Structure 1
Amino acid sequence: MLCWGNASYGQLGLGGIDEEIVVEPRKCEFFHGKKVCDVGCGLRHTAFLLEDGTVYTCGCNDLGQLGHEKCRKKPEQVVALDAQIILAVSCGESHTLALNDKGQVFSWGQGSDGQLGLNNFEECVRVPRNIKSLSDIQIAQVACGYWHSHALSRGGQVFSWGHNRYGQLGLGINGQSISTPQIIQSLQGVPFTQISAGGAHSFALTLSGAVFGWGRNKFGQLGLNDCNDRSYPTLLKSLRSQRVIYVSCGEDHTAALTKEGGVFTFGAGGYGQLGHNSTNHEINPRKVFELMGNVVTQISCGRQHTMAFTPSCGKMDAFGLAGNGQLGTRSTCNRKNPAPVKGPWGASNSSMDTDSESGYCVKRIYAGGDQSFAHYCTANDKDDVRIPDPHRRICILNQEIIHKWCNYSPGRLPIEISNEIELVFSSASCLNGSFLSTSNPDHYSTSSKCSGVDLSMARLLLHRVVQQDHHEIAQQIAASLEKNLIPRLSNSPPDIEALRLYLTLPECPLFSDRNNYVTIAIPFAKSLLSLKETPLKVLGNWWSTFEPPVFQRMVELYKGVVVYLLQMHKMGIPSVEQRIFTCFLDTSLRLLEILHTVSERAGHIIEYDKFYIHELDDLIDIRNDYVTWIQRQMYPLGQDGVVTLCRYPFVFDAQAKTTLLQTDAVIQMQMAVDQAQMQNFSSMFMPAVESVNPCLILIVRRENIVGDTMEVLRKSKNVDYKRPLKVIFVGEEAVDAGGVRKEFFLLIMKELLDPKYGMFRYHEESRLIWFSNKVRF
């Protein structure tokens, strides 16, 4: 371990040295032969985590932040944590958090602002205590601000507690400190990979590089193009397309690292800590141009300085405040541009011995307060810090975890696996973080046009985890979806990454099981339909990019649900359940309607006949359904609990549509007759009203049947065409009107079908005549 910077409180762990500042990297002999896994830097104290899970601290201890009463000049073990295997540590101004392998969080130090999460405001706690309110939740990460704290659970929830004057807890309120961890509800469903905290501001980073910030913004440290504080998490739209993979916070500034190795900084720049060759503040993320050309893989922010590491050439840069030697440049002069940290650094591909004078192969850099650290290792140590520790991430569904779940003897499901299944399938965050595409463009390109999801992978893995051989797993998944996940889905997700499960979950075989229609498929559709306009529009965009087989599977799923509901209804559902049946049927049809609209707008992803439900003729009385629909059109009754299939005509096949046309013709004719009779009745009392014949009279000559017919039709109004037809041949007496009408049709068809007319066609089965170039039946 190499260290440099402020040593006045012993925070460098160098023991009883005379210097108060160390201006260049110096070996910390205490860690010789020990492997350091994590370092937490507070304002004036430091916590070190070793490979065996033990924690050592040093530095200022005036508020108990070391967790022991031993020497503060050199690292001493926190004995109270001796029974714990600690995985991560983090330090605030004067408090410390530690996370163990069971996902439990311990805190100690200053607690006057509730930053310890112990449900009190004690001035100081000198012995680590378990945060009991988080005991039933598996925590994956912890992060300390100066006087506030955050935790990220394995289920993807972000918790916050402590000082809240600037809204740094992200709970939508300012001023009131909170001493018990609270869920940031506005971030629910988003798959986060990292949380970080600065002086009084905070950040959360998603798996696909979206950055959310909140809290103090006096210097623009939230990067939102203004200096207004935020009490709710707010998306940094300017970084959305930059593929951010890590965020580090200083006291009043922020640095973001991209997948390509670029560094963006913003916020307070008074000491040059932004690296832009100026002392200006920046309210928008700005790339550090002097680092361009280098693939930076690590960044770390101290109080008012920033460090960046490029392993390919073994280059470490620092910029900002240097008054305590924290830049490691052998100088106390501030640097406004990246300056090389002094030391023989070796490139990552070097085979040099780290104990020689030729160079150190740096594994990890850390900064905080006014101190800096570099953990170096042997050159053949292949551990790569850019690969996230699975224990410090949210739990996602992948090949490895499914293999673990299915690699047990069928029978009783082990409690550990059961809990893990429930964790994943009860969490929108976990599912939204699963099945991410690694192709080009990969999931870092997620947008309203691109979901970032690999649907083929989703289908493969979901079919692999739901197998007949392991029905216990399927039962656990179904229970988690029904009781936990679907009921908690928000109608206004905070980000597009929270919408991915609406694409992937229908690929799960459980959705296609008729036994789960009522408990899973329909509630899922209801949640989808309850989405507000903007997220629903994004889903429409994503659906429109589906391959036809994938899109059709979604359509077939909910066609199946409709058929199932109608079959159950025909068999007889008790009247008390009629309202529920109606709601279920309407929900399924409305979802099909949305999919039909998406398909049409995208130029028919699938053919229109793929939406036909051929079983309708057997399951409903189409004529009665049409009459009911007409009545609702004429006399709206509001929500009267009646669903008519005619509201969704795209599900009718040709046979059903023919029945509709025939029914409509009868209704239209009867309405025309009624209207004529009403007009005749009025004419008896109102001379101004002309009487009309309730029939359409055709007076024709046999020798000019077509011409006479066309002349009458030309003079007729639209309403006349709906009335019953009465045909009179000139000079002949019609005894049997029906017979005359039949004779008329035979004659006129003979004429119309003559090649000289050409434009007409006759269909024997349906007895329809139509213009061949105008109308399609």
Structure 2
Amino acid sequence: MTYSEPVLLKYFNNRKVIEVSCGAAHTTAIVRGCGDGADDYVNTNFSSEYGHLYGWGDDCFNQIGRHTYCKTEPDDQCVPLRLKPLREARFLHTSSGFYHNVALGFFTQKPNQKVVFSWGGGLLGNGTDIYDSTLLPVRTLLEKDVRLVSAGGLGGTSKEYKQNTGDATDNVPYHKIVTPVSLQFFEGTEVTSVACGIWHTSVVVLCHGRQKLFVFGNEQYEGYMRPYCPFYSENFARGTHSIRTVKRIIPDEVFLPDQSPIKKISAGASFTVALLENGKLFGFGQNPRVCPAAAVPESDDQEIHINSADGFANERHVYRLSTGHEESRDPFVDVDCGTNHVVGVTERGHVFAWGHCFDKITFDVDKPIKIMDGVSLVKKAACGLDFNVLY
């Protein structure tokens, strides 16, 4: 069933929704006050809010975690299902890729040790390429102080990439990275925000007290079946699957025309949107459905010429995503990117959308539509392939 207007999900009435993330056709959410009584409270040192994890939607790649492989059962999970690891846990953050999820949480028996969980279809960081419906810890990250998680678009194996893209990958060598690797370029910096798109990643870091925005991977727009990812063959010697540090990924630094600090970034198919502390939105990338013509800016001050970190000249256009209303009076407080569209929420609860929503709903990038008008309870947005959740 398709809805062109927001519909209330009553399952979480009178409960506090902490965070929501959407994949291609599924959703995960962290919720407090789920009827477990005193079990909701855990004495922990973490300042972030925590809660129980729920999932609903398409389960064709085990991304909902129903622990069922019966082919006679439908793939859809129509009502929210509580997702439980093998031991009792609480969750701080969740991020859904197309067919897999990553969540940051902790076991209640060890409430001060953060744990990264992964499940669904794709390379889950556990040393294999086997799909798994069980929320398992990523063991390589158990001793790391992980603060943020982000799941990218397609998380499949090399076999699936070839099935999905046909002959496009026949002469394209690449490697499966089955366990987490360290990106040496960012060592010595503090990562404050990260966003994984389909085939690229954007990162905001603090370096010597200065905030910087970087992007790496492939930003070329050819739909969401592009056979490239940030970990491409030029970064690895053939056959080196045990590598722990990636030395040759050199991101491009992106310069925004506004010096206000970056509050959040979000990424879609070949584009990134940055939300600034002053409530303004800026976008860049190669997606013509979000970036106007993905080429020609309206004025000279919107065209940003930068030098990439690897020494090659790189021309990048940064666009202001505006609604025509005065952001100083009603600034944006949240933004999220779908595959080919963007949804922004203002301080007064107005919700705007730009881009293209999978041939079902089309938003003009120059003239965004208002999805919702001044609902004070709406503070955040989460975008999937062709659907959105407001909370």
1:126-137 to structure 2, matched below 5 A, reads 126-133=78-85, 136-137=88-89
1 CA distance for matches of 2:82 and 2:323? 40
* Residue of structure 1 equivalent to 2:271: 305
Return the match for 2:262 from 296, 309, 314.
Answer: 296
The alignment status of 1:365 with 2:344, answered yes or no, reads: no
- Paired residues of 2:195 and 2:266 also in contact (CA < 8 A): yes
Structure 2 CA distance for partners of 1:240 and 1:345, relative to 1, 3 Å: farther
Which structure has the highest strand share of the two?
Answer: 2
- Residue 153 of structure 2 is aligned to residue 187 of structure 1: no
Q: How does 1:193-342 map to 2 (within 5 A)?
A: 193-200=147-154, 228-259=175-206, 260-271=210-221, 283-289=249-255, 293=259, 295-312=261-278, 315-324=280-289, 326-327=290-291, 331-334=292-295, 336-342=316-322
Are the aligned partners of 1:290 and 1:337 in contact in 2 as well (CA < 8 Å)?
Answer: no
- In the TM superposition, 1:741-752 aligns within 5 A as none
Q: Is the 8 A contact 1:105 1:139 kept in 2?
A: yes
Aligned match for 1:109, one of 57, 68, 71 = 57
Matched, 1:160 2:118: yes
Deviation at 1:190, TM superposition (A): 1.6
Q: How many Å apart are 1:231 and its aligned residue?
A: 0.6
Q: How far, CA to CA, are the matches of 2:190 and 2:255 in structure 1?
A: 17
CA deviation map 1:154-191 (0-9, x unaligned): 44011111112xx2x100112x2111111111111222
Gaps of 5+ in 2: 33-39, 41-50, 107-112, 162-172, 224-229, 233-247, 297-315, 349-378, 380-391
Amino acid at match of 2:332: V
Q: Unpaired segments of 5 or more residues in structure 1? A: 1-60, 62-70, 203-215, 217-225, 274-279, 355-360, 379-384, 386-777
2 CA distance for matches of 1:341 and 1:183?
38
Conserved? CA contact 1:145–1:197, under 8 Å: yes
Other-structure match for 2:126: 171
Counterpart of 2:116 in structure 1: which amino acid? Answer: V
Q: Which structure has the larger Rg?
A: 1
Cα pair distance change 1:78/1:343, threshold 3 Å:
closer
Query: CA offset at residue 133 of structure 1?
Result: 3.5
SS across alignment from 2:185: helix
- Whole-Å separation in 2 of the counterparts to 1:87 and 1:293: 29
Between the aligned partners of 1:256 and 1:245, the Cα distance in structure 2 is 8
Contact 2:183/2:249 (8 A) holds in 1? no
Q: Which residue pairs with 2:23 in the alignment?
A: 92
CA drift at 1:239: 0.7
Distance 1:316 1:231 in 2: 35
Deviation track 1:440-462 (CA, whole Å, cap 9, x = no partner) reads xxxxxxxxxxxxxxxxxxxxxxx
2:11 to 48, 59, 80: 80
Give the TM-score of the pair, scaled to structure 1: 0.31
Conserved? CA contact 1:160–1:182, under 8 Å = yes
Change (3 A) 1:297 1:127: closer
Q: Distance in 1 between matches of 2:288 and 2:319?
A: 15
Partner SS for 1:241? coil
Report which structure shows greater RCO (CA 8 Å, sep ≥6).
Answer: 2
* Cα deviation 1:547-600 (Å, max 9, x = unaligned): xxxxxxxxxxxxxxxxxxxxxxxxxxxxxxxxxxxxxxxxxxxxxxxxxxxxxx
The separation in 1 between residues aligned to 2:121 and 2:254, in whole angstroms, is: 32
Question: What's the CA shift string for 1:223-243, capped at 9, x where partnerless?
Answer: xxx953311111111111232
Instruction: Compute the TM-score of the two structures, normalised by the length of structure 2.
Output: 0.60
Distance 2:277 2:20 in 1: 24
Q: In structure 2, the residue corresponding to 1:186 is in which secondary structure?
A: helix
Shift in Å at residue 266 of structure 1? 0.5
2: distance between equivalents of 1:292 and 1:267?
24
Percent identity of equivalent pairs: 24
Shift of 1:295: 3.3
Partners of 1:296 and 1:172 lie apart in 2 by 34
Match of 1:377 among 324, 344, 347: 347
Q: Please state which structure has a larger fraction of its residues in helix.
A: 1
Aligned AA (1:163) = G
Displacement of 1:83 in angstroms is: 5.8
Taking structure 1 as reference, are residues 272 and 288 closer, same or farther at Cα in structure 2, changes over 3 Å only? farther
Written as runs of structure 1 = structure 2, the 5 A alignment for 1:618-633 is none
CA contact (8 A) 2:19 2:94 kept: yes
1:343–1:132 distance in 2 versus 1, CA, 3 Å? closer
Q: Tell me the alpha carbon deviations over residues 351-409 of structure 1, each in whole angstroms, 9 at most, x when there is no partner.
A: x4x3xxxxxx122222122221222116xxxxxx9xxxxxxxxxxxxxxxxxxxxxxxx
Task: Quote the Cα distance in structure 2 between the aligned partners of 1:316 and 1:127.
Answer: 34
Q: In structure 1, what is the Cα distance between the partners aligned to 2:318 and 2:267?
A: 13
